[in-house]
Amino acid sequence: MIKQILISDPTLRDGNHAVAHQLSAKQIAIYAEAANDAGVPIVEVGHGNGLGASSMQVGLSLEDDVTMLETARKYLSKSKLGIHVIPGFATIKRDLGRALDIGVDVVRIASHCTEADITQRHLGFVRERGKEAYGVLMMSHMASASVLVEEAQKMELYGAEGIIIMDSAGAYLPGDVAEKISALVNGLKVPVGFHAHNNLGLAIANSIVAVESGAKILDGTARGFGAGAGNAQLEVLVAVLERMNYITGIDLYKILDASDIAEKEIMPMIPVIKSESIISGLSGVFSGFAKHVARISKEYGVDQRDVYRELGKRKVVGGQEDIIIEVVMDLIKNRK
């Protein structure tokens, strides 16, 4: 049976992590137009940590949410405009309502993988407004398959039309993906999705394992532009899925063109798997920490790899960026 895979492209959201949230409105316009032309179903836009997240703690974005969303909206006629929303960063009245007024079509409400409870009101609000609402479980490597199913079932009850698990740290091996996606497909009514990171060079392989295990939604970014070692490389993903007779609705040549445009226009450098990214993945640390860890480690003269190991031991999650400095100080103290 021919199987349709829904592709969501967070180049303009996860990619914002890779440039410390400094994507400009012009860059957003250029890539949104190219992705739209290629027929990418969902183009996700915003600060790396999502709507309302621009802050001193996780990084100030160059453009505000309204500018980013209004700009993208102008260039997305075929593609749906998506946003990533973490309750706590984004409030319902101030941020979410305004985003929907601008014309956001798809909202992905995210929480740490064991805290789905915090998504209820946000998911409900999006459904009440008649928009598409998905649930996202971040840092999913930190929970067992059975816990993920329980948390995902909560999101399903809250109104999520699909559940995406994120390998936010790029920590998964293919067997982990197969186990967790299969459990979710069995335990849920709604479609399951997977968002990969490439710390261990497995983003594409893991994404394919996910669809072979029953996932119907995949995330991918142009050239893998995203936090840390980057995401699943979208143009490769589309090509491989096409070879395997999956349908994405994306024009291969045009997504190759869009990726070339993205490389030229929005990327200071193409994501590569740096040495510290491998340690980050092995330690299970959120990829969004990469810029902060690199900067603080350099400033205090400590080895990034030691910082990642320690952050991994402490099981830190997105939003706890302030612990990086604490870890660095402890490493210096222990060195003395």
Q: Supply the residues annotated as catalytic.
A: 17
Note whether 162 binds other proteins by CB under 8 A: yes
- The structure tokens 């995949």 sit at 218
Note whether 194 binds other proteins by CB under 8 A: no
Closest distance of CB 230 from other proteins, Å: 28
Near other proteins by CB under 8 A, which window of 7-15, 51-59, 75-83, 123-131?
A: 123-131
d(CA 324, CA 75) in angstroms, rounded, equals: 38
> What's the start-to-end Cα distance of the chain, in Å?
63
> Which one-letter amino acid corresponds to residue 109?
I
State which of residues 216, 223, 291, 309 lies at the interface with other proteins (CB under 8 A).
Answer: 216
Closest distance of CB 152 from other proteins, Å: 10
- The structure tokens 């340690």 sit at 279
Closest distance of CB 157 from other proteins, Å: 5
State whether residue 215 is helix, strand or coil: coil
Using alpha carbons, list the distances in angstroms from residue 281 to 65, 200, 285, 305: 30, 6, 6, 11
Task: Name which of 103 and 201 has its Cβ closer to other proteins.
Answer: 103
Q: Count interface residues toward other proteins (CB under 8 A).
A: 26
Near other proteins by CB under 8 A, which window of 92-100, 170-178, 185-193, 247-255?
A: 185-193
Task: Name which of 127 and 305 has its Cβ closer to other proteins.
Answer: 127
State whether residue 112 is helix, strand or coil: strand
Note whether 157 binds other proteins by CB under 8 A: yes
Across-strand partners of 193? 164, 217
Quote the crossing angle between the two packed helices 120-128 and 145-158, to the nearest 10°. Answer: 40
State which of residues 60, 62, 115, 124 lies at the interface with other proteins (CB under 8 A).
Answer: 124
Closest distance of CB 304 from other proteins, Å: 39
Closest distance of CB 192 from other proteins, Å: 6
Note whether 130 binds other proteins by CB under 8 A: yes
* Contact in structure between 68 and 81 (CB atoms under 8 Å): no
Note whether 230 binds other proteins by CB under 8 A: no
State which of residues 154, 195, 291, 309 lies at the interface with other proteins (CB under 8 A).
Answer: 154
Task: Name which of 7 and 229 has its Cβ closer to other proteins.
Answer: 7
Note whether 158 binds other proteins by CB under 8 A: yes
Task: Name which of 53 and 160 has its Cβ closer to other proteins.
Answer: 160
State whether residue 106 is helix, strand or coil: strand
Note whether 117 binds other proteins by CB under 8 A: yes
* Contact in structure between 116 and 157 (CB atoms under 8 Å): no
Quote the crossing angle between the two packed helices 290-300 and 304-313, to the nearest 10°. Answer: 120
Tokens for 238, please give them. 């589309």
Note whether 156 binds other proteins by CB under 8 A: yes
Near other proteins by CB under 8 A, which window of 50-58, 66-74, 153-161, 317-325?
A: 153-161
> Which one-letter amino acid corresponds to residue 151?
E
Task: Name which of 42 and 190 has its Cβ closer to other proteins.
Answer: 190
HEC sequence for 235-277? HHHHHHHHHCCEECCCCHHHHHHHHHHHHHHCCCCCCCCCHHH
Note whether 179 binds other proteins by CB under 8 A: no
The closest of 223, 324, 240, 208 to 9, measured between CA atoms, is 223
d(CA 83, CA 10) in angstroms, rounded, equals: 9
State which of residues 11, 140, 153, 221 lies at the interface with other proteins (CB under 8 A).
Answer: 153
Note whether 192 binds other proteins by CB under 8 A: yes
d(CA 217, CA 30) in angstroms, rounded, equals: 25
Note whether 127 binds other proteins by CB under 8 A: yes
State whether residue 279 is helix, strand or coil: helix
Q: Which residues bind other proteins (CB under 8 A)?
A: 1, 117, 120, 124, 127-130, 150, 153-154, 156-159, 161-162, 184-185, 188-192, 214, 216
